[in-house]
Amino acid sequence: MKGRVLVAGFATRHIAQSAHAAGYEVYAVDHFCDQDLGFYTRESRSFDELGELEGAVVEMCEQIRPDLVIAASGGELLGTGDLCGTPPGKVERFLDKVSTHQFFEELGIPTPGLLAPGMYPAMVKPRKGSGGWRNAIVHDDAEFLAWSEKFGDLPHLTEEVVPGVPSSVCCLGTGSSAIAVAVNRQILRGTNEAAYGFSGSVTPFQGDAAPIMVQYAERIASASGCMGTIGIDFMAGDSVHAIEINPRFQATLDTIEMATGINLFAAHVGAWQGGLSPKRRPRCRQVAVRKILFAERDMEVSRNLLRFSPLIADIPWPGTSFEEGQAVVSMYGWGPGEGEAMALLDKHIRILQQYMGGRLYG
């Protein structure tokens, strides 16, 4: 084994899987602790609220003495000296979407303009947080008031609505230089109150805007001071607009590794240590897609879904209850082209839905 790694955050299975494949002994602090997290970890510990995360990490560090600590979503500001990735002092700027907008403007990279109160239509979103599930387009004061009442006194921003395909670029950064690894199309839920919530990815994104996205992403990552893996979100239309920066492992990790064949965890550690490998963006050998399936109604998973691995991931334990709209499981498809990958994904979804009695949607 190369050493002990502790992965900490809201959801860690994808990072733990990559670290295990890279030859590390892996431990995790994770909100869900799904069944398949245990495939890749020596031990895991769960937490309920994000406020409990740092205490759980301190306890785990005292117990196992890890060589590396990796921050997943929700753990970006962990105050451990062993953090393998972007230091919290640099991360904090990019967790605030207003300061991220200002960073893009300083670089001269197009980004949606921030709107004054009362200007519509507007994309309204929290200043902090990930996943996009609280984002919404509002067209008038009444719709904005409804959003505010739903989420309470939440610091937010409103920006102009720009057309395009939600997409992202994964980069590796040393703190002063960067290389793009993969361009991805993001799958959003598209319906109900969480229409802009992340629900999967397709790698590679093959649109005409991909080359300019790569150029912008490498400039952003190099100037950000971020170390290891970093993701930049875009809207890719007739023009390209940078949206957000994710200074940590991204939810696109699975499809990037499936499409390119690289181990992103090993590349992350190498970049954090000051070396970029691969030296150039790897060629994709296939198209990979991951899609999250959600509960159609309040439900309990009564049967063991392990039999469907590796077609699925983030596998809940039998007896786990879900409320309507909650994420239940991830499902994969792959093929030589996007059409073939999506067709295989749809086939896998139909099989699982039949087994589950049609209680999932995605």
Mean pLDDT of the chain: 95
The whole domain housing 139 covers 113-159
pLDDT for the residue numbered 301 = 95
Q: Are residues 137 and 70 in the same domain?
A: no
Neighbours of 248 (CB within 10 A): 26
pLDDT value, residue 81: 63
- Which residue stretches of the chain have pLDDT < 50? none
- Contact between residue 170 and residue 221 where contact means Cβ atoms under 8 Å apart: no
What single DSSP character describes residue 67? S
Tell me if 96 is assigned to some domain.
no
Determine the residue type at 218: E
Residues 193 and 121 in one domain: no
pTM for the structure as a whole: 0.96
Among residues 272, 303, 336, the one where a domain terminates is: 272
Mapped onto helix, strand or coil, the DSSP state of residue 305 is helix
Q: How far apart are CA 173 and CA 86, in angstroms?
A: 9
Number of structural domains in the chain = 4
- Residues in CB range of 22: below 8 A, 6 or more apart: 2, 263, 265, 266, 269
Same structural domain, 228 and 249 = yes
Indicate if 168 and 250 belong to the same structural domain: yes
Q: Is residue 282 part of a domain?
A: no
What's the pLDDT at 152?
Answer: 87
**Dist CA 168 CA 233 (whole Å):** 4
Digit-coded pLDDT (tens) for 164-189: 999 999 999 999 999 999 999 999 99
DSSP H helices, the chain, are: 13-21, 37-40, 53-64, 88-95, 97-107, 141-151, 210-224, 253-260, 264-272, 338-356
Give the CATH number, domain containing residue 305: 3.90.600
pLDDT of residue 129: 87
User: Residue 301 domain-assigned?
Assistant: yes
Q: Of 240, 272, 304, which marks where a domain is finished?
A: 272
Both 200 and 214 in one domain: the answer is yes
Residue position matching structure tokens 């009695």: 357
Q: How far apart are CA 264 and CA 260, in angstroms?
A: 10
Task: Please identify, among 213, 247, 272, the residue that sits at the C-terminal boundary of a domain.
Answer: 272
Q: Are residues 240 and 327 in the same domain?
A: no
Q: At residue 131, what is the residue type?
A: G
